[in-house]
Amino acid sequence: MNHPPVLLVIAHGSRDPRHAATVQALVRRAGALRPGLRVETAFLDFNLPSVAGVLDRLAAEGVRDVVALPLLLTRAFHAKADVPAVLRQAPASLRIRQAEVLGPSPLLIAAVERRLYEAGLAPGDKSATGVVLASAGSTDPEAIAVIAETARELRRTGWCSVRPAFASASLPLTEDAVRALRAEPGVRRVAVAPYVIAPGRLPDRIAAGAAEADVLADVLGPSPELARLLLARYDGAALAAERVTAAAV
pLDDT of residue 78: 83
pLDDT of residue 25: 98
pLDDT of residue 241: 75
pLDDT of residue 178: 98
pLDDT tens track, the chain, 249 positions: 578 999 999 999 999 999 999 999 999 999 999 999 999 999 999 999 999 999 999 999 999 999 999 999 999 888 899 999 999 999 999 999 999 999 999 999 999 999 999 999 999 999 999 999 999 999 999 999 999 999 999 999 999 999 999 999 999 999 999 999 999 999 999 999 999 999 999 999 999 999 999 999 999 999 999 999 999 999 999 998 777 655 654
pLDDT of residue 92: 97
Number of residues that this document lists for the chain: 249
pLDDT of residue 248: 58
State the Cα–Cα distance between residues 132 and 150, nearest whole angstrom. 11
pLDDT of residue 247: 60
Question: Which residues fall within 8 angstroms of residue 96, CB to CB, at 6 or more apart?
Answer: 55, 66, 67, 68, 87, 90
DSSP state letter for 158 = T
State the Cα–Cα distance between residues 69 and 240, nearest whole angstrom. 14
Instruction: Give the pTM.
Output: 0.95
pLDDT of residue 240: 85
CA 175 to chain CA centroid, nearest Å: 22
- 71 closest CA partner among 179, 220, 172, 240: 220
Q: How many CB atoms lie within 10 A of CB 142?
A: 12
